[in-house]
Chain A
Amino acid sequence: MAGPLALALVLGLASLSFLMRATGSLLPNLPSAITERTSGLAPALLAALVAIQLTGSNGLLHLDVKVPAVIVAAVLAALRAPFIVCVIAGAIVAAGLRAVFHL
């Protein structure tokens, strides 16, 4: 990725993050009805990110080595394995299947 584009990504994300963390101090009287709903965003977005990563360029679910990788990571996460173990296990499953089946 080109430098200016990377800088735009960093500064854009940084300013959004700054504003979100500062909101509580700058506008302490936000209605709780709004703030309570923000708790639903993280699970919905992370789940959607998993799903999107498993779709091909046509937007349809694409069955490849990422699917078993995600399943293994999910099982490990359910067993309370640390984050890094889930990530490395997912990568090993994908790399291993690719190497064995020449995908």
Chain B
Amino acid sequence: MVGQRSVREILLAAAPIAIAVFVFGVSFGVLAVAAHLPAWSVVLMSVLVFAGSAQFAAIGVIAAGGSVLTAIFAGGLLNLRFVATGIAVTQSLPGGRLLRSLLAQLSIDESYALSARAGSPGRPDGKTLLVTGALLYVVWVIGTSLGALLGPVLGDPKRLGLDAAFPAGFVALLWPMLSGRHAVRCAVGGVAASLLLAPFTPPGIPLAGAAVVGLWLAR
């Protein structure tokens, strides 16, 4: 696109997305506290993980009675796509390997998308990534903290339908990803694998099966 944009211009362009991330953060905080995570750990998770869908998946596993290992596994695998975006963004970041691997932590779906639009998917604009990523990081942590404070005020999670909020949220996260034929195939395969395995295997295995099918059907 057009040359170097100022920090102000980048922030203004990211503002609508920052609002969406803030609201996502609040809802994540509310649901995580409703899943009986201590409020401090919910905020710490947002500070250290900074990946909405992975955090949401991990909490969803816990809320459904899954183990900590299954939750880490589900969230961690969802973040594997950051290996691919990490390879793209590292070319646009300043400094040596260590600094770049630290700065690459600011890449989430939204900051990557905006920086790819300002540059190209294979060579995203580094300044856009850093400015947008930093803005979204702050907004995400503040939103989560607010949600974690609000959560206990709301009352019985099940009466409020909060257990249904997780599958509803997963569908909402999934839908925009279903743009390509491969993605649809992977989603259908993931459902089939998990439902086939669920009656016979301990929790965690159905998700692992879905992951293997996803990798297999991706090309």
Contact = CB atoms under 8 A, between A and B. Distances in A.
A51 B84 contact: no
Contacts of B38: 1, 3, 6
A44 B190 contact: yes
A41 to B, nearest CB: 5
A101 B44 CA distance: 39
| Interface of B (DSSP majority class) | helix
Given A17-B76, A84-B23, A98-B161, A43 B41 contact: no
Contacts of B191: 47-48, 50-51
Interface residues of B, number: 104
A59 B200 contact: yes
Size category, A interface:
35 or more
A35 to B, nearest CB: 4
A100 interface: no
Given A38-B215, A93-B161, A94-B164, A47 B210 contact: yes
A6 B177 CA distance: 30
Interface in A37-78: 37-55, 57-61, 65-66, 69-70, 72-74, 76-78
A4 B77 CA distance: 23
B153 interface: no
Given A6-B38, A24-B83, A47-B187, A41 B78 contact: yes
Given A9-B72, A77-B176, A91-B164, 8 more contacts: A1-B38, A10-B45, A20-B80, A22-B102, A37-B215, A42-B177, A73-B168, A73-B169
A66 B86 CA distance: 36
Interface in B120-158: 158
Contacts of B215: 37-38, 40-41, 44
